[in-house]
Amino acid sequence: MPGNLVGNLVAGGIAEAGAQQAGDLMQDLKTGHLLNASPRAQFVAQMIGSVFSVFITAGAYILYNKVYPIPGPELPAPTAQVWLDMARLVNGHPLPPHVWPFIAVFAGVFIILPILALLIDRGKDTIVLGSLNFRKSTLQRWWPSGIAFAIGIYNTPNFTLMRAVGAICAACVTEVIVARERKQHILIGTDDRMWNQQEPLIRRKVAMMAIIVASGFVLGEGTFSFFILLSQAFSK
């Protein structure tokens, strides 16, 4: 829709919502398959949920908009700003000054990094850089991701900082638990071969526990924030 800013936003929103919901539904069906749930029952539940979500989502938006300005300091809606900027760009609005050099530099960096990651993946288990030796698994774990880098740019700090703090806490807890288990294995005389087999299992168990704890944080905050929103909306 050339020149139609609102039309482009509506079309983009419909396409994004459709792709997002399709991905969520496929994830639900995959989870149900792993749990041996009935696909028919899942489909019926998804249809019922889709009908109710139309009214619940609209009602929640009205409540939020009544209590907080959207976008605003509490709800900045960074993804909406990205869509608006893109719609303006494709409809003839210019980029801000001095943007093209940054686009070129970061595009080049994140073209080269995946190529290097592919070469490392095909290489030996130990990478030698001068006097330094790196395990391939360690490099792959800390290798920069272009998608994560981009998300960190357009998301506001209150989104990204908490994720970074949570990731650091999870990594620290994992290393403490692994070190404690390693010490116990040394005390009972376990050989290195058995420890190398058990360490990935321990890390997976800790990662699963971290996911469960994080899910509880999300559910708890979402539930209580909704009740706080209701109290604020009806007190005005």
Task: Note whether 136 and 126 are within 8 A (CB).
Answer: yes
- pLDDT tens, the chain, 236 aa long: 666 777 778 887 888 888 888 888 888 888 888 878 888 888 888 888 888 888 888 888 888 777 777 777 777 777 777 778 778 877 777 777 888 888 899 889 888 888 887 777 776 666 666 566 667 666 767 777 888 788 777 777 777 788 888 888 988 999 999 888 888 887 777 777 777 788 888 888 888 888 888 888 888 888 888 788 778 777 76
Question: Given this model, what pLDDT does residue 123 score?
Answer: 64
Distances (CA, A) of 62 to 3, 53, 123, 219, 231: 30, 14, 55, 21, 14
Nearest Cα to 144, choosing from 181, 182, 117?
A: 117
